[in-house]
Chains A and B, each alone.
Chain A
Amino acid sequence: MPRKRMGERTFAFKRPPYVWSSGSIVGDVEAAGPLGEKFDLVLEDDTWGEGSWEKAECKMFEHAVRIALEKCGLETEQLQCMLGGDLLNQIVTANYAARQLDVPFLGLYGACSTMAQALLLGSVLIDGGFLGNAACVSSSHFSTAERQYRFPLEMGTVSPPTAQRTVTGAGCTVLGAQPPESGGRNITTYNGVRVKEATLGKVVDMGILDAANMGAAMAPAAASTIMAFLRDTNRTPDMLDAIITGDLGVFGSEMLLELCDDEGIKLAGKHHDCGVMVFSPDQKLNCGGSGCGCPAVVLNAHILPRISAGEWRQVLFLATGALMSPTTSLQGESIPGIAHAVLIEKES
């Protein structure tokens, strides 16, 4: 029995899964951001011709998977498992997309941490020999999230400066047990990109009550997972090329650096945040992007291509989730956060 555990909560894969391909779809506000040209598909109209935004989000989810599968030359019938989720109640987006795709499906909920959760579980199942390939997906939509978590769209309200905008987007990563060019498929998108390690998150709650300040609520969870990873694997931040969080936003990132600083860990220079990268400050969207779709589209359109090109060789990718609901907020509960991490490496 090979030992696949390190320290307190880190997995070290013995047969690290390969990243085969990516798919990403975003709305027009995301396309106007700095990463605009990198996405596979941009929706000019964020209802995508559907009767409701919920249906549109579902369609994005489904098509992000289809785009990723097409890129690695896999038929939907050959996909052995789809793992994913979204922000809506009962993760309906993922459920209904799985109905359309007709593939084996594990629905996940980790709020905005879902992308990392899916990568972690997908890698475990592949490394364990249970799956030959897996699609890891998550999505969010500004208009569906706004209605479920905040106010109706046409309400004249001002969002506070700590608020973040939910990203309209879906991202899919296909993982496989063999190198992408195996099995006679001639389409190769990524070269030698593998998921080597993963660290489980703990739910951390520092008592932040303000649902318009989720970055600050999730930063302690991110700090906890980063420190656990560094401890478990005996690394320092200098040994990595980048540590990338999901959607802490401008202010949450600031708090994360502070928290790590307290423990004597310097992240400055190494740390990036998808929520900060996805929008430009000129777009005046307060603290940046958030939502399941945020880390999903930035990972698939920006981070993985950079790793494959060798610009980054070792990246710790964390997605952070705020695990509250509107009901718990009204009942005066604070916002618990979670962060899962995967270490993605370029094979030399």
Chain B
Amino acid sequence: MGFTKYLIVFVVGGLLCVIGQLLISLTRLTSARILVVFVTAGVVLTGLGLYEPLVEFANAGATVPLTGFGYTLAKGAIEGAKQSGVVGAFTGGLSAASGGISAAMIFGYIFAVLFRPKTKK
């Protein structure tokens, strides 16, 4: 059970990254654009109801790639809309994803102050 679960996570997560690599290799998209494409794709697929089944099937294999971030945002926005209408559609996404975003802010700041960039060899 444990092993199969992790195997599914590995394969689905890996395949999502393969899609990203195909975009980089074939279209020369920069990594900043790849991230944008993935998050938007996650939101759209969730809106169409296609991403939820993948999350149930693959757990972290679907939530760790940035499409999963889009999934969290879209799911939050939909729940928000359910509960409090138009206002909820505006607040739901960010509330659901606020943990990751806040973490990025505080850790980003701390690490930028603590560490110095190193040159590449």
Contacts and interface: CB of A to CB of B under 8 A. Distances in A.
The answer to A–B direct touch (Cβ < 8 A) is yes
A18 interface: no
B117 A46 contact: no
Interface in A102-157: 142-143, 146, 151-157
B121 A152 contact: no
Contacts of A157: 30-31
B119 A142 contact: yes
B118 A153 contact: yes
Contacts of A143: 117, 119
Interface string A301-315: 000000000000000
Contacts of A146: 120
A51 to B, nearest CB: 10
Contacts of A269: none
A265 interface: no
Contacts of A212: 28
B31 A142 contact: no
B31 A155 contact: yes
Contact of B119 (A46, A155, A210): A46
Name B's interface SS. Answer: loop
Contact of B28 (A46, A152, A210): A210
Contacts of A142: 119-120
Contacts of B119: 27, 46, 53, 142-143, 153
Interface string B18-33: 0000001000101100
Nearest to A165: B120
A29 interface: yes
A160 interface: yes
B120 A153 contact: yes
Nearest to B115: A154
A305 to B, nearest CB: 28
A152 B31 contact: no
Contacts of A156: 31
Contacts of B24: 158
Interface string B89-121: 000000000000000000000000000011111
A14 to B, nearest CB: 46
Contact of B117 (A27, A154, A158): A154
B120 A160 contact: no
Interface string A162-184: 00000000000000000000000
Given A142-B119, A151-B31, 14 more contacts: A27-B119, A29-B121, A46-B119, A142-B120, A143-B117, A146-B120, A153-B119, A153-B120, A154-B117, A155-B31, A156-B31, A157-B30, A210-B28, A212-B28
10 contacts: A46-B119, A53-B119, A142-B120, A143-B119, A151-B30, A151-B31, A152-B117, A153-B120, A160-B28, A210-B28
Interface of A: 27, 29, 46, 53, 142-143, 146, 151-158, 160, 210, 212
Interface of B: 24, 28, 30-31, 117-121
